[in-house]
Structures are given as structure tokens and as C-alpha cells.
């Protein structure tokens, strides 16, 4: 049987894995899971932010409205949620700096001759990833200290 020599590129490439691809698409390195966490924290921050716009807008209506709104969210569940948003921001920001440094080509290393033992751009990117995760952990610890030290609701 003769092989066809006509190869037409498909016009449309469906995203076959969908959301599953965020976690289970193959043998990925830690960067892929950091990418997934970046998206999850981004969605979490956005959800909080959209609600936050309406809650904080009550300050324009006066003290009673503001204190009423704050009383409604003065609950341990909301305080824990608030800390999680802070932690998500710390991670998202630190990882975002890393992504921009890589996007702009400042953190991928210089091209080198392929001499054994081989060095790849990961030799630059992995230490940057570790540094950014340490930065995020320090920020989360500081925010956690503030969270514990302030009086909270029931």
C-alpha cells in the first residue's frame, strides 16, 4: 500500500486533556506542578478579589455598613480563608517573578557547548525556583505570625 504524501496540517488542535492535563499529562518535572499551583492560587485570589470589591465598597455607605459587613465575615472560617489568600498571594507573586524572569530570557542561562556533564537551562531555573519558594515560605510565615497574633472572631 502506497503511503500518502499529502500532509495537511490540522486547522484546529483540541485540548484533549483539558483540566486533567494540569496534573496528569505525562512525566513532568516539578515546574509543571508549580505551574498548576500558580493557576489554582490565581483562581483562588481572583474569586476572593471579586467578593472583596463588594465587601470593601460598603465603606462608602458609612460606619454602620462597614462594621456590619466586617461582623458578617468575623468568623474563624473567614479568617483562615483570608490567611490562605495571603499565602496564595505570596506563592503566586514569588512564582510570578520567576516566570517573568524566564519569559524575558534573564533566567535561562547562556548557550553553552554540549560538553559532558551536560548543563541545561534547568541548572539556572531550578535554583531560582528554590529561591522563590523560600521567599514565599518566609512571607507566609510572617503573615501567619500576624494572623496568630491578632485577636479574631469565633
We find the least distance from the C-beta atom of residue 61 to other proteins, in angstroms, to be 8
Asked if the peptide bond before residue 56 counts as cis, ω within 30 degrees of 0, the response is no
**Binding to other proteins, residues 117-146 (CB under 8 A):** 142-143, 145-146
**Binding to other proteins, residues 73-92 (CB under 8 A):** 82, 86, 89
> Does residue 28 touch other proteins according to CB under 8 A?
no
78 to 8, 9, 48, 57, 75: CA distances (angstroms): 55, 51, 11, 18, 5
139 to 20, 85, 92, 134: CA distances (angstroms): 30, 12, 12, 9
Nearest to 153, CA basis, from 87, 79, 82:
79
> Does residue 50 touch other proteins according to CB under 8 A?
yes
Site for other proteins, rule CB under 8 A = 12-15, 18, 39, 42-43, 45-46, 49-50, 53-54, 56-57, 59-60, 63, 66-67, 70, 82, 86, 89, 93, 96-97, 100, 103, 142-143, 145-147, 149-151
Amino acid at each position: 500500500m502506497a503511503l500518502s504524501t499529502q500532509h495537511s496540517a490540522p486547522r484546529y488542535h483540541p485540548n484533549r486533556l483539558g483540566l486533567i492535563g494540569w496534573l496528569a499529562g505525562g512525566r513532568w518535572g516539578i515546574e509543571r506542578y508549580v505551574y498548576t499551583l500558580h493557576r489554582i492560587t490565581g483562581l483562588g485570589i481572583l474569586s476572593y478579589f471579586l467578593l472583596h470589591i463588594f465587601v470593601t465598597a460598603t465603606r462608602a455607605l458609612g460606619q454602620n455598613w462597614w462594621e456590619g459587613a466586617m461582623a458578617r465575615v468575623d468568623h474563624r472560617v473567614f479568617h483562615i480563608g483570608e490567611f490562605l489568600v495571603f499565602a496564595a498571594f505570596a506563592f503566586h507573586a514569588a512564582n510570578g517573578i520567576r516566570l517573568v524572569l524566564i519569559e524575558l530570557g534573564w533566567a535561562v542561562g547562556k548557550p553553552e557547548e554540549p560538553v559532558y556533564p551536560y548543563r541545561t537551562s534547568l541548572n539556572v531555573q531550578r535554583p531560582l525556583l528554590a529561591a522563590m519558594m523560600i521567599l514565599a515560605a518566609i512571607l507566609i510565615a510572617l503573615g501567619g505570625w500576624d494572623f496568630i497574633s491578632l485577636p479574631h472572631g469565633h
